[in-house]
Chains A and B, each alone.
Chain A
Amino acid sequence: MAALRNDDAALTAGTDPVPAVRRRRRIGWGYFGRRALMSLESFLVTLVIGFIVFSLVPSDPAQSLARAQSVTPEQMADLRAQLGLDQSIVVRFFHFLRNVLTGNFGYSWEYRQSVGSLIGSAIGPTLLLMGTATLISVALGLWLGVRAGWKPGSKFDRFWTGTAVTLWSVPTFWLGMMLLVVFSIGVGPIPSLFPAGGMSDPTVDGHGIAHILDVAHHLVLPCLTLVAVTFAQNLMIMRSSLVDELGNAYLTTARAKGLRDAEVRQRHAVPNAMLPAITVIFLQVGGLVGGAIVTETVFSWPGLGLLVYNGIKIPDLPLLEGTFVIFSGSVIVFNLIADLLYRVLDPRVQG
């Protein structure tokens, strides 16, 4: 056993006299520049599409804002002029572009606050919820995917693949409501274990350990919902890319050299199978900021998703435009990162 440990230590210690020959992988600035330019292009195209879609929303913001109050046509026209709705769509588009470039989206019609401050206060809760959920979902999904993919067709594989796909196909709002009913309201013998919504309890002191525990308590159900519906994609991508690796002869070579099964899996199969998984995970991380509209709405989580949901009802165009830029921007940026990372990790794509 001691001898084996020494072997392993020698393998991981990296006592190579030639570290220079081991990893010579670089991104290359030319490639980076081209790729960044492509990202910028797709961002601009997204902005145009986004603007057009928001302009096509059939309900009238002025009408919604006036609510049921009796408003004279003059007052209505005044309100429209105030909101800038009387201008032509071309003028409004250039307004929008200016807003994007300056990062200033003006004031939300609904909240009467600057869009920047609204997003600023909502982005923290969203990152907390989505970050936690994504971390758990990725870790759980990859771990289960490796276990399932290494022995495809085993009981473990069939059980977890089945469970994951079942949960994946369940509608998020339905699962969220079920969890609310069972664990928040309580069913039969199950008492009310978790709060029904929000991020913190106003009666709990807003600082220190008590606050952290309170937030964590509120985090459980929305986080559970998100993990349950998303871990399947991590599991499935990891499983299938590991299954693809299984047939490869280099695994047999590694075994023939004397590597044990677990070593073959950890050193050869899993790192190579991770490549396709990384792209998918990074796309997911990009969608993280805006991905939880349904969950945040069901659990009244005060994040960007809830903000968007409330904004759409008006429609509160400055707010929607601001959040839209954030959402699409983050997807594009993370896609870029995934692309560059892939290049670093896989020597074959370095032309």
Chain B
Amino acid sequence: MSAAAIEVPGPADVLEARNLRVTFSSRRSAAPARAVDDVNLALGRAEIIALIGESGCGKSTLARALVGLVKPQGGQVISQGAPLKYSKAALRQHRRSVQLVLQDPAGALNPRHTVYDLVAEGPRLHGLTGNLYERVCTALTQAGLRPPEQFLARYPHQLSGGQQQRVVIAGALALEPSVLVADEPVSSLDASARGEVLRLLIDLRDTLGLSALVVSHDLGLAWNIADRVAVMYLGRIVELGTVEEVLLRPQHPYTRALLSILPGRRSAQTLTLLQGEAPDPAAIPGGCRFHPRCPLYAEKADDPRAQWCRERDPQVLPALSDSHLVACHFAASGAPDNPTAPPASAVGA
């Protein structure tokens, strides 16, 4: 990956989920949990997508499936234009180009390895040992640990949280990946380190053309770093669009509810509190999966479209990168009169 990669024209999605399904079967309950239930998502070159949702909505599972740590039960992960095969060699290749950054940097680093060993592990594994020392120093520099020589012999416990997360990112960068999948990358850091690490992700996008899928429950984070935002509810993406579209003109009632509880907006808009806990992914409600908690459905229970909410699953959103997409019967313009129209619609695109 070099700066030249940014100039590659066209959509050129570097990582894509196509109708991805991941289920977990548990011994006790007969029904398997549908953690990721038919998801389309395409990550373009030098693009940062924020994947937003409540805990338990399947966003981490989607991240793990994209890295190849979880084998999907259906659909495909498209890596560099080709479907990912789950052979050992193919996975190894895939993991060189798609790297994972986890939430808690202190846990993500083996406490008994030095920074040098931690960063060098990936390149060693992939046989990139020719100029390992320079490679490690370059990765550390890119991750903002300067001068790198100062950090090589240290152990994780001798670093601050922000520095630890930078070491994790350096370990990923040492493999020259094209995508970082970051699962809650800053939620365990304090506020100042948080800003630095997010800044780093943006810098890496700008200088290296690195794409990133940032999983978070924090809408403010999405606003700060993302180009596009995907909102996930109970295993499915319910709204997808640019950061301005989704956060300033949210269409899906779930997104609106999430936004309404942000501190700054409380005065401007009415507070929408969702009823109850997120349902169990082993028992996803019929019809629109959000309708039991949906404020819009509760409000418009008499509307003829409300019947659709009970009976019809809104169509799965496609992975279009240039439209604002919403999986909601009410948001879909003209949908109630035309039963054949796709309930999932492009709003104002």
Chain A: residues with CB nearer than 8 A to chain B?
Answer: 3-4, 6-7, 10-11, 15-18, 20-24, 248-250, 252-260, 268, 271-272, 345-348
Question: Contacts A17-B132, A249-B108, A271-B112 known; A6 to B127 CB distance under 8 Å?
Answer: yes
- In the assembled complex, B51 has its CB within 8 A of some CB on chain A: no
Instruction: Assess whether A16 is in contact with B67, with CB atoms less than 8 Å apart.
Output: no
Question: 27 A-B pairs, CB-CB below 8 angstroms?
Answer: A10-B129, A11-B124, A11-B125, A17-B133, A20-B153, A22-B116, A23-B114, A24-B153, A248-B107, A249-B103, A249-B104, A253-B108, A253-B109, A256-B69, A257-B171, A258-B91, A258-B95, A258-B125, A258-B126, A268-B110, A271-B112, A272-B111, A272-B112, A345-B112, A347-B111, A347-B155, A348-B112
A268 to B108 Cα, complex, angstroms: 11
- Since A15-B132, A22-B114 are in contact, a sample of 16 more A-B pairs with Cβ atoms closer than 8 Å, ordered by chain A residue number, is A7-B125, A10-B127, A11-B124, A21-B116, A21-B152, A21-B153, A23-B114, A250-B108, A250-B111, A252-B69, A256-B69, A268-B110, A272-B110, A272-B112, A347-B111, A348-B112
A residues within 8 A CB of B100? Answer: 252-253, 256
Distance (whole angstroms) from the CB of A22 to the closest CB of chain B:
6
Distance (whole angstroms) from the CB of A41 to the closest CB of chain B:
30
Distance (whole angstroms) from the CB of A17 to the closest CB of chain B:
5
A42 to B132 Cα, complex, angstroms: 49
Instruction: Assess whether B157 is in contact with A347, with CB atoms less than 8 Å apart.
Output: yes
- In the assembled complex, B342 has its CB within 8 A of some CB on chain A: no
Instruction: Assess whether B108 is in contact with A252, with CB atoms less than 8 Å apart.
Output: yes
- In the assembled complex, B99 has its CB within 8 A of some CB on chain A: yes
A82 to B89 Cα, complex, angstroms: 82
Instruction: Assess whether B126 is in contact with A21, with CB atoms less than 8 Å apart.
Output: no
> Which 6 pairs of residues, A with B, have the shortest CB-CB distance?
A256-B100, A249-B107, A21-B153, A258-B95, A249-B108, A257-B122
A residues within 8 A CB of B120? Answer: 16
Instruction: Assess whether A348 is in contact with B111, with CB atoms less than 8 Å apart.
Output: yes
Distance (whole angstroms) from the CB of A8 to the closest CB of chain B:
9
A3 to B126 Cα, complex, angstroms: 9
Q: Contact partner of A252 among B102, B117, B121, B153, CB < 8 A?
A: B102
- In the assembled complex, B213 has its CB within 8 A of some CB on chain A: no
Distance (whole angstroms) from the CB of A260 to the closest CB of chain B:
7
Q: Contact partner of B114 among A7, A21, A256, CB < 8 A?
A: A21
Question: Contacts A18-B133, A258-B92, A259-B125 known; A249 to B102 CB distance under 8 Å?
Answer: yes
Q: Contact partner of A254 among B104, B111, B121, B126, CB < 8 A?
A: B121
Chain B: residues with CB nearer than 8 A to chain A?
Answer: 67, 69, 88-89, 91-92, 95-96, 99-100, 102-104, 107-112, 114, 116-117, 120-122, 124-127, 129, 132-133, 152-153, 155, 157, 168, 171, 175
Distance (whole angstroms) from the CB of A277 to the closest CB of chain B:
14
B residues within 8 A CB of A21? Answer: 114, 116, 152-153
B residues within 8 A CB of A3? Answer: 127
B residues within 8 A CB of A272? Answer: 110-112
A4 to B69 Cα, complex, angstroms: 20
Which has the most chain B C-beta neighbours within 10 Å: A3, A6, A24, A258? A258
A216 to B114 Cα, complex, angstroms: 46
B residues within 8 A CB of A348? Answer: 111-112, 155, 157
A6 to B111 Cα, complex, angstroms: 27
Question: Contacts A3-B127, A11-B125, A249-B104 known; A347 to B133 CB distance under 8 Å?
Answer: no
Name the CB-closest residue of B to A346: B112
Instruction: Assess whether B132 is in contact with A16, with CB atoms less than 8 Å apart.
Output: yes
Name the CB-closest residue of A to B120: A16
Instruction: Assess whether B95 is in contact with A256, with CB atoms less than 8 Å apart.
Output: yes
A residues within 8 A CB of B102? Answer: 249, 252-253
Which has the most chain B C-beta neighbours within 10 Å: A16, A20, A21, A260? A21
Instruction: Assess whether A7 is in contact with B126, with CB atoms less than 8 Å apart.
Output: yes
A350 to B216 Cα, complex, angstroms: 36
A residues within 8 A CB of B124? Answer: 7, 10-11
Name the CB-closest residue of B to A8: B125
A347 to B132 Cα, complex, angstroms: 24
Instruction: Assess whether A250 is in contact with B132, with CB atoms less than 8 Å apart.
Output: no
Distance (whole angstroms) from the CB of A154 to the closest CB of chain B:
13
Question: Contacts A249-B104, A272-B111, A347-B157 known; A256 to B67 CB distance under 8 Å?
Answer: yes
Distance (whole angstroms) from the CB of B273 to the closest CB of chain A:
33
A215 to B328 Cα, complex, angstroms: 82
B residues within 8 A CB of A255? Answer: 69
Instruction: Assess whether B114 is in contact with A257, with CB atoms less than 8 Å apart.
Output: no
A107 to B154 Cα, complex, angstroms: 57
Question: Contacts A11-B125, A249-B104, A258-B95 known; A18 to B111 CB distance under 8 Å?
Answer: no
Instruction: Assess whether A250 is in contact with B175, with CB atoms less than 8 Å apart.
Output: no
A258 to B89 Cα, complex, angstroms: 9
